[in-house]
Chain A
Amino acid sequence: AQRVTQPEKLLSVFKGAPVELKCNYSYSGSPELFWYVQYSRQRLQLLLRHISRESIKGFTADLNKGETSFHLKKPFAQEEDSAMYYCALSGMNTGFQKLVFGTGTRLLVSP
Chain B
Amino acid sequence: DGGITQSPKYLFRKEGQNVTLSCEQNLNHDAMYWYRQDPGQGLRLIYYSQIVNDFQKGDIAEGYSVSREKKESFPLTVTSAQKNPTAFYLCASKGTVDTQYFGPGTRLTVL
Contacts and interface: CB of A to CB of B under 8 A. Distances in A.
Contacts of B18: none
Given A43-B1, A44-B90, A46-B99, A97 B42 contact: no
Nearest to A104: B42
A9 B42 contact: no
A45 B31 contact: no
Interface in A16-57: 34, 43-46, 49
A46 B1 CA distance: 15
Interface string B48-63: 1010000010100000
Interface residues of B, number: 22
A23 to B, nearest CB: 12
A85 B100 CA distance: 15
A95 B31 CA distance: 12
Contacts of A34: 99
A81 B56 CA distance: 36
B99 A103 contact: no
Interface extent on A, as a size class? 10 to 19
A70 interface: no
Given A43-B104, A46-B99, A97 B31 contact: yes
A44 B41 contact: no
B42 A102 contact: yes
B45 interface: yes
B105 interface: yes
A57 B70 CA distance: 37
A95 B105 CA distance: 24
Nearest to B100: A99
B42 A44 contact: no
A8 B74 CA distance: 34
Q: Closest 10 interchain pairs by CB?
A: A103-B42, A44-B102, A101-B43, A101-B42, A43-B104, A43-B102, A104-B42, A97-B31, A46-B99, A96-B50
